[in-house]
Amino acid sequence: MHIIAFSFILFVSLCQTVFGQIDSVGGIEFENAQVELNLNDATHPIEIIEYSDGLSEWIAVSRNYGNGWESIFPYSCTIEESNGEFPKLFLPQGEQGFFRKRFEPTAEGVSNYELVSRFLMQASFGPTLTTIYSFPNVNSNNFIDENYTNFEVWIDQQIAETPFYHRAYWRERSDPNFLDYSTQSGYLENEVGHNSSYGHQLPFVRGQVNYLTDWSCSLPGHGGRFDSDGNPIDPSDYPNQLDWRGIPKIGMHAENSIAHIGHEWDVHGLKINDVEKVVWYEAAINAKDQLRQRVAWALSQYFVVGEEGSNHPNTTERWLNYYDIFVRHAFGNFRDILGEVTWSPHMGYYLSHMENQKANTNKGTFPDENFAREVMQLFTIGLWELNEDGTLELDEEGKAIPTYDNDDIAEFAKVFTGMRRPFDRTNIEIFYGNYIDPMRIQSNRHDFSAKTLLDGSILGPFSQNTQGVRDDVDGLLDHLFNHKNMPPFFARFLIQRFTVSNPSPTYIHAVAEAFKTGLYNGNGTGNRGDMVATIKAVLLHPEARESVLSFDPNHGKLREPLIRLMHLSRAFSLTSLRTYEWIYFVGLEDIILQAPYESSSVFNFYRPDYSPNGTIADLGLNAPEFQINNDVSALHLANAFSILINEGLIKQDGGYFGSKNYADATLNFSFEIAISNDDELLIEHMDLILCGGRLEASSKQIILDALQSSNLSSTAKVKYVASLFMFLVEFNTLY
Find the mean pLDDT for residues 689-699.
Answer: 96
188, 227 contact by CB (below 8 A): no
- Summarize pLDDT for 35-64 with one digit per residue, the tens: 667 788 788 999 998 888 777 778 888 999
What's the pLDDT band for 91 if we cut at 50, 70, 90? low
518, 533 contact by CB (below 8 A): yes
* pLDDT for the residue numbered 243: 96
For the ranges 169-183, 309-323, 591-605, which has the lowest average pLDDT?
309-323
What share of the chain has pLDDT > 70, as a percent? 93
Task: Kindly state the helix (H) or strand (E) to which residue 557 belongs, with its residue range.
Answer: strand 557-558
Residue 526 CA to residue 524 CA, distance in Å, equals 5
30 pLDDT more than 50: no
* b/e burial code for range 470-493 (CB count within 10 A of at least 16 → b): ebbbbbbbebbbebbbbbbbbbbb
367 pLDDT more than 60: yes
Phi-psi region for residue 522, left (φ > 0), alpha (ψ -120 to 50) or beta? Answer: left
What's the pLDDT band for 77 if we cut at 50, 70, 90? confident
331 pLDDT more than 80: yes
Phi-psi region for residue 96, left (φ > 0), alpha (ψ -120 to 50) or beta? Answer: beta
- Return the ∠ at Cα 351 (arms to 348 and 357), rounded to 5°: 65
Domain ranges of the chain: 3-104, 112-160, 333-481, 486-551, 557-734
Residue 168 CA to residue 266 CA, distance in Å, equals 24
- Summarize pLDDT for 440-451 with one digit per residue, the tens: 999 999 999 999
- pLDDT mean across residues, the chain: 92
H/E/C letters for each residue in 258-316?
Answer: HHHHCCHHHHCCCCHHHHHHHHHHHHHHHCCCHHHHHHHHHHHCCCCCCHHHCCCCCCC
Provide CB contacts within 8 A for 675, sequence distance 6+. 681, 682, 685
Find the mean pLDDT for residues 532-556.
Answer: 95
Phi/psi of residue 41, nearest 5 degrees: -60, 145
What share of the chain has pLDDT > 90, as a percent? 82
Compare 160 and 310 and report the one with higher pLDDT.
Answer: 160
* pLDDT for the residue numbered 312: 67
Find the mean pLDDT for residues 500-519.
Answer: 97
Find the mean pLDDT for residues 629-639.
Answer: 96
261 pLDDT more than 70: yes
Residue 708 CA to residue 559 CA, distance in Å, equals 30
Find the mean pLDDT for residues 269-280.
Answer: 96
* b/e burial code for range 159-177 (CB count within 10 A of at least 16 → b): beeebbbbbbbbbbbbbee
116, 132 contact by CB (below 8 A): yes
2 pLDDT more than 70: no
For the ranges 17-31, 278-292, 397-411, 595-609, which has the lowest average pLDDT?
17-31
Find the mean pLDDT for residues 494-517.
Answer: 98
Other Cβ atoms less than 10 A from the Cβ of 423: the count is 9
Find the mean pLDDT for residues 576-593.
Answer: 97
* pLDDT for the residue numbered 83: 65
Compare 307 and 540 and report the one with higher pLDDT.
Answer: 540
443, 466 contact by CB (below 8 A): yes
Is the alpha carbon torsion for 654, 655, 656, 657 positive or negative? positive
74, 51 contact by CB (below 8 A): no
For the ranges 38-42, 398-402, 682-686, which has the lowest average pLDDT?
38-42
What's the pLDDT band for 185 if we cut at 50, 70, 90? very high
Compare 625 and 600 and report the one with higher pLDDT.
Answer: 625
